[in-house]
């Protein structure tokens, strides 16, 4: 799943069509990367895949910062905020990547799109936000969609379905931390420190091979395998840049709903590459989750706009 910047966008930079195209490009690259992750996970452990995903993401990320932004913005006054964001984000990435290994790609992506549902729930205790009945209704509907997809008690429930749901919870925690960091930190700085944290965190899985052979890191056996691992990282970094730029060029309400194109791309890649055929429960449940997520985004954007308008209204003069 993807990180959504919350910084305000200058009116002069508002280019909605360009932003929508960039967002679709980012989602397509991310989903294609997920397909590659599923493919290489047949040989390489999840920890190693997370490592190469982040290590080689530095290539497009640093290039973008030097060429486009003309500098590396690495100074921060909130190191612990980046640690919190990194811990939540890398936990989400581990769970997402593991779900691609355990489940059909389309199933994992559909279940993983429940992030906004958990974000709404967590925003109450962690951000102190007030959630009205409309968004609580959307959360309830979203959970119904999740239940349709997982069908607990039907005899076909797979415990592996809990992995992308857990990933969505960690994703929501990461989004909470990004909302806090975005008040003072540039988007590329947040992405840089997350990538650095995730690369270092993945290294801690290296000794696990001594406990379980399936978790042992493996050297690529050919240039083709090495190329795929490098490509995963480059695609991840490039998609992150496209996504960040999209959110700089248009408002969240315009751009964010296109994140759900991942469901369409996931169905297509799963069908064409892996021969997966999503059943009617996945299609119906996924559609319900997407609809609830889009409505949550709409309500959050509307309320944020109302808060900005209220803040811009000058107070009444004090009479003597």
* Position 41 pLDDT exceeds 90: yes
CA dist., res. 316 & res. 304, Å (int): 23
pLDDT of 8? 43
Average confidence (pLDDT) over 185-199: 93
Among candidate residues 175, 231, 262, the one with its CA nearest the CA of residue 49: 231
Average confidence (pLDDT) over 163-175: 93
The answer for 279, left when phi > 0, alpha when psi is -120 to 50, beta otherwise, is: beta
Contacts of residue 285, defined as CB under 8 A and 6 or more positions apart, other chains included, come to 110, 145, 146, 147, 148, 149, 150
Q: Residue 156 — very low, low, confident or very high, per pLDDT cuts 50/70/90?
A: very low
- Summarised one tens digit per residue, pLDDT across range 208-254 is 999 999 999 999 999 999 999 999 999 999 999 998 888 888 777 67
pLDDT of 129? 77
- Summarised one tens digit per residue, pLDDT across range 246-281 is 888 877 767 878 888 998 899 999 999 999 888 888
Cα-based distances in Å from 206 to 36, 88, 173, 200: 21, 20, 26, 11
* Position 31 pLDDT exceeds 90: yes
Q: What is the mean pLDDT of the chain?
A: 86
pLDDT of 154? 52
8 Å CB contact between 244 and 25: no
Of 104-108, 129-133, 280-284, least confident by mean pLDDT is 129-133
Q: Residue 153 — very low, low, confident or very high, per pLDDT cuts 50/70/90?
A: low
């Amino acid at each position: 799943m993807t990180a959504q910047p919350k910084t305000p966008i200058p009116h002069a930079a508002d280019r909605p069509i360009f932003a929508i195209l960039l967002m679709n490009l980012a989602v397509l690259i991310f989903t294609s990367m997920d397909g590659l992750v599923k493919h290489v996970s047949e040989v390489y452990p999840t920890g190693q895949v997370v490592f190469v995903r982040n290590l080689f993401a530095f290539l497009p990320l640093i290039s973008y910062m030097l060429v486009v932004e003309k500098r590396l913005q690495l100074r921060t006054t909130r190191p612990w905020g980046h640690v919190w964001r990194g811990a939540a984000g890398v936990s989400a990435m581990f769970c997402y990547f593991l779900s691609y290994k355990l489940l059909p790609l389309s199933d994992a992506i559909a279940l993983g799109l429940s992030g906004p549902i958990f974000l709404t729930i967590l925003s109450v205790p962690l951000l102190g936000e007030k959630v009205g009945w409309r968004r609580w209704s959307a959360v309830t509907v979203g959970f119904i969609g999740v239940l349709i997809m997982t069908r607990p008690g039907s005899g076909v429930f797979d415990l592996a379905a809990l992995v992308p749901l857990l990933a969505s919870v960690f994703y929501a925690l990461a989004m909470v931390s990004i909302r806090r960091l975005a008040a003072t930190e540039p988007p590329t700085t947040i992405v840089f420190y997350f990538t650095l944290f995730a690369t270092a965190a993945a290294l801690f899985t290296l000794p696990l091979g001594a406990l379980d052979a399936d978790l042992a890191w493996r050297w690529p056996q050919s240039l083709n395998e090495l190329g795929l691992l490098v490509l995963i990282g480059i695609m991840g970094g490039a998609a992150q840049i496209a996504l960040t730029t999209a959110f700089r060029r248009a408002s969240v309400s315009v751009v964010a709903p296109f994140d759900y194109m991942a469901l369409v791309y996931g169905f297509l890649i799963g069908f064409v590459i892996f021969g997966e055929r999503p059943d009617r429960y996945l299609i119906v449940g996924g559609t319900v989750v997407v609809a609830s997520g889009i409505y949550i985004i709409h309500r959050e954007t509307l309320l944020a706009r109302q808060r900005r308008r209220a803040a811009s209204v000058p107070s009444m003069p004090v009479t003597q």
